[in-house]
Structure 1
Amino acid sequence: MDVFNDLGQGILAILSIQNILLLAAGVLIGMVVGVMPGLGPSAGLAILLPITFGLDPVGGIIMLAAVYYGAMYGGTITSVLINTPGESATVASTFDGYPLAKQGRAGAALVMAAVASFVAGTIGAVLISVAAPVTASVASSFGPPELFLVVVAGLLTLIVVVGRNRIRGAISALLGFGIATVGVDVGGGQQRYTFGSSDLINGIDFIPVAIGLFGLGEIFYSLYRGGHLETLGYFNLSARAKGFWPTRSEVRESTGPMLRGSVLGFFVGTSPGAGATVASLMSYSLEKALSKTPKKFGRGAMAGLVGPEAANNGASAGAMVPLLTLGLPGSAATAVLLGGFLIWGLQPGPLLMEQNPEFAWGLIASMYLGNVMLLLINIFCIPAFASIARVPFRVLAPVIVVLCVLGTFTVNGSIIEVGIMLACGVLGFFMRLFGFPVAGLVIALVLGPLAEETLRQTMIISHGSFDIFVTRGASQALLAVIALLLLIPLLPVLRRALARRRAETRREDSADDHERSQV
């Protein structure tokens, strides 16, 4: 009953004209951001974060969250129509979405993707309502040692499980930790790496780094690739056109993948470091394995589009659980949201739902209404959003660069921060170019101060002894998780060693058999 009461209070907290308008604006802006290849939710959130400072925390976070899950669907439009994912989480949507479009089923594909997003978002909101209080109650018993180990486990998940190159992922995370050390030492009060600049005493602000890495970095990389949007003239996206609406057989075919993808995506998203990209690819593999006609996958199977689309939206909802209850971002986009929390003076974690229930439950409640808005806007405004994809990239790029500069400068009116943003834009470009994950740097930058503070507190409590990590039950469980994560890279080595051993055993057995036959 407490869940229903808290959710009811959250609904009342957002039922104002201003919050509803902010929610609608966030969904619309998120859709536009998602339609622009090269941006995605992370860059959109980073660029838009400064404009929410004049809002109250509830309205601001409602708008940013709406941008987040609105952008997740917006990337599907370009994935289906021009085979260009708006961001990595919609890569799996190109596998069958674009073949469906070439078959004249673009409208049906986008409508079913919209329905899958709505179903996954709604299921995710329901699961958040149940899981968040339980997780918060468990995490409320965590002390500094456990919080430090949770941060380490989250970063290891990002580096070991999700990252393609673990060494580069570790370097990105260490770079983020290094940037987080700039400023004043929280323990001794001494300046670190400020180079005598008074502007760096308070550290390097999260906003210019995020805007530079995601906003400018993505633009520079897209310009380097020479990416230009293709024309969409041969797709008839009018709601009155033949084939715009899905058939009954397509709806029946999509029901199972939609539900499976929603649940799978949510639970994958709750793992710190995992995200929508992993969830969507897992869903695609699952649906192909379960399908009676696996040969259709890659050639225009509706289940191959609906499953991953539900999974990436379910993962977006699932990522809110560690964010709200542990203060851990599960992805780059939720790292930007966490930056917004901290700027508004709110510390996500076990006590957030107790100390600021109207904020936490207002955010959860907004997801129910936001998903309804997203469904209606998606279905009836598909042609309008698709037309954005016809805007040449050479027109969009300078507009986005100007927004990045203005957004950074308006936060504190600091030219130094604009310079930091430009430098991070160049850094983001080279990180993308050489395969260093930007998400690892951003998440480490956000979590760096928390890791340093909790480690210092742990050492004070234990009088400098590391035994405290192995004498507490929760710490022991987290150490076991960390040990398993560290063992994952060794599995291929062990598998190859066992294969060589079996091959040697077979050769020895065959040699013995040959000798016996000679005798």
Structure 2
Amino acid sequence: MEIFAGLAHVLTDPVLLAWVFAGALIGMIVGAVPGLTASAAIAMLVPLTYYMDPLAALAFLYVIGKSGRYGGSIAAILFNTPGTAASAATQIDGYPLARQGKAAKAMKVATLSSVMGDVFGEVVLIVGIGFIAAIALRLGPPELFTIYLAAFVVIGSVIGASIIKGLASAALGVLISMIGLDPISGQDRFTFGVIELMDGVALVPLMIGIFVMGEVLEQAGKPTQAPELTTRTAIQARADNGLSWAEFRPCLPHVLRSSMIGTAIGMLPGLGSTIAAFVAYGEGKRRARNADQWGRGALEGVAAPEAANNAVSGPSMAPLLTLGIPGSTIGAILVGVFMIHGIQIGPTLFVTSSDLMYSLFACGLIGIAAYGLMGYFGAAWVGRFIIRIPAAILYPLIMLTAVAASYVSRGSLFDVGVMIVSGLLGWGMKRLGFNPAALVISFVLAGGAEEAFRQSLRLSDTGLMIFVTRPIALAFLVIGLAALALRIRQLSRARAA
């Protein structure tokens, strides 16, 4: 199999291995910092990848995304402050365990569950990606456009608490993507006479502004008091902080079930690891024999959401690599890295760059093992390191890095201005209940959607009816409408309750 050739390639390249291990360490630390997400770290590090080999660049950022998802559990367990949104489910049982003096035990369960869930999702990706790509090769522009349209609807309606605000966020992303020259007629669109906008809004400063500056501004409005470790989190009592097979064995059914839940959710654009974690936690509690202990410090309550959270990572790459549709914000950022290195993502990717892709998957597997070892033996030390960094130093340093990264992307002060405006936009959207992630994903999708739409109309003798008369295209239109209807029904029931 090609994956074994990929593993052989990676294991014989010490420089590539070094980038993989660096990604695992950076992701774990970033994920453990309350308020700083893996998406923000990846966005800031994108300019660094300009000078790297394509495989090393992709592997470095891909592993940061994986490790960052896991790292959020460290803050959730130790500080009662989820490092990522998905780790909020881990916090429910993780922090009570820390209060009982079992922080290291909880982190070991989180590490093992994250690794097992991540490996499960990665294997599903490796085994199924070729089949998905073969199907995608048979899709024409009408089918691709309806897939894009369904993705817009799903992303806009599912991400966030409000359907209207979610769809508005997605629509704003599409509008921003239209700034620049029309790809067919060459006419200006929304440039307002600004020459720098002729090439459109650059992806890197937009992402850095939305994910990094917006988050820094959000954290600036919160109390600056540093989180404190619980009084009994010192690693002293082996009985409380060691993990035996007898203790972990009851977690295994929850890990397997949650891995399948996370894998299924990961394949659907826009749902993401947060939804996977909470769905898995709810399903695990419903099926648990000791359901009354969940919420009070059950190890299974840590295992279930962590397995689902990390199982999302691999499958979320499937729609990105085969259709060019990012399934998460991290996927949207990776689109930029593919573009930087001249790699055309889509159905033909596994025809033109098969070796590169399977080597990337191999890097993902090695990265999982790397953060697993680092986390199992060193998560507590990462927590202690994080707590010693004052917020008054950390966030200004992040802001300076964001400014530098925006400038380096194209050597333009205009891009720094784009980053600042995007940051203010992202911060304002969060404050008003809109969703910046939906904006960025839609911004990335819009170019492909416009191209597919125009190609479809050129193929059609009946105008827009081409999207209804072709069965696969019609099926995806129905899927998008069904997803919207289900979301409306879900919110209506929640309000009635």
TM-score normalised by L of structure 1: 0.92
Letter in 2 for 1:450: G
Per-residue CA deviation, residues 484-518 of structure 1 (Å, 9 max, x unaligned), is: 1232245369989xx9xxxxxxxxxxxxxxxxxxx
CA distance in 2, matches of 1:237, 1:196: 61
Aligned to 1:272: 269
SS class of match (2:313): helix
Of residues 256-265 and 105-114 in structure 1, the stretch that sits farther from structure 2 once superposed is 256-265
CA distance in 1, matches of 2:236, 2:135: 49
Q: 1:439 aligns with which of 432, 437, 440?
A: 437
Q: 2:28 aligns with which of 9, 26, 31?
A: 31
Aligned to 1:414: 412
Aligned to 1:491: 489
Letter in 2 for 1:387: R
Aligned to 1:342: 339
Aligned to 2:396: 398
CA distance in 2, matches of 1:79, 1:387: 13
The alpha-carbon deviation at position 95 of structure 1 amounts to 0.6
**8 A contact 1:89–1:276 mirrored in 2:** yes
Give the CA RMSD over aligned residues: 1.8
Aligned to 1:513: none
Aligned to 1:40: 37
CA distance in 2, matches of 1:88, 1:464: 46
CA distance in 2, matches of 1:481, 1:242: 52
Aligned to 1:97: 94
Of residues 353-362 and 244-253 in structure 1, the stretch that sits farther from structure 2 once superposed is 244-253
Letter in 1 for 2:456: T
The alpha-carbon deviation at position 293 of structure 1 amounts to 1.8
**8 A contact 1:265–1:279 mirrored in 2:** yes
Q: 2:453 aligns with which of 447, 452, 455?
A: 455
CA distance in 2, matches of 1:469, 1:238: 61
Per-residue CA deviation, residues 400-424 of structure 1 (Å, 9 max, x unaligned), is: 0011001111111100000110111
Aligned to 1:298: 295
Letter in 2 for 1:12: A
Letter in 1 for 2:120: I
User: Quick check: 1:11 aligned with 2:7?
Assistant: yes
**8 A contact 2:99–2:233 mirrored in 1:** no
Aligned to 1:370: 367
**8 A contact 2:99–2:231 mirrored in 1:** no
Letter in 2 for 1:234: T
SS class of match (1:439): helix
Structure 1 residues 492 and 123: alpha-carbon distance in aligned structure 2, compared to 1, 3 A threshold? closer
SS class of match (1:317): coil
Of residues 7-16 and 17-26 in structure 1, the stretch that sits farther from structure 2 once superposed is 7-16
CA distance in 2, matches of 1:225, 1:418: 25
Q: Which runs of 4+ in 1 moved over 4 A?
A: 239-242, 492-496
Structure 1 residues 99 and 494: alpha-carbon distance in aligned structure 2, compared to 1, 3 A threshold? closer
Per-residue CA deviation, residues 114-138 of structure 1 (Å, 9 max, x unaligned), is: 1111111111121111111111111
Aligned to 1:77: 74
User: Quick check: 1:127 aligned with 2:124?
Assistant: yes
Per-residue CA deviation, residues 316-368 of structure 1 (Å, 9 max, x unaligned), is: 12211111111111111211112211222112211111111122111111121
Letter in 2 for 1:40: T
Of residues 10-19 and 28-37 in structure 1, the stretch that sits farther from structure 2 once superposed is 10-19
CA distance in 2, matches of 1:239, 1:197: 63
The alpha-carbon deviation at position 207 of structure 1 amounts to 0.5
Per-residue CA deviation, residues 202-224 of structure 1 (Å, 9 max, x unaligned), is: 11100001000100100100111
TM-score normalised by L of structure 2: 0.96
- How many residue pairs are counted as aligned between the two chains? 493
Aligned to 2:218: 221
Of residues 226-235 and 271-280 in structure 1, the stretch that sits farther from structure 2 once superposed is 226-235
Aligned to 1:466: 464
SS class of match (1:231): coil
Per-residue CA deviation, residues 45-96 of structure 1 (Å, 9 max, x unaligned), is: 1111111110111110000001001101111100001111112111101110
Letter in 1 for 2:119: T
The alpha-carbon deviation at position 444 of structure 1 amounts to 0.7
**8 A contact 2:180–2:189 mirrored in 1:** yes
Aligned to 1:319: 316
Letter in 1 for 2:267: T
The alpha-carbon deviation at position 159 of structure 1 amounts to 2.2
Aligned to 1:204: 201
SS class of match (1:243): helix
What residue ranges of structure 1 are gaps of 5+ in the alignment?
A: 500-519
CA distance in 2, matches of 1:346, 1:209: 21
Structure 1 residues 299 and 200: alpha-carbon distance in aligned structure 2, compared to 1, 3 A threshold? same
Letter in 1 for 2:10: I
The alpha-carbon deviation at position 296 of structure 1 amounts to 0.7
Structure index of larger Rg: 1
SS class of match (2:186): coil
CA distance in 1, matches of 2:9, 2:200: 34
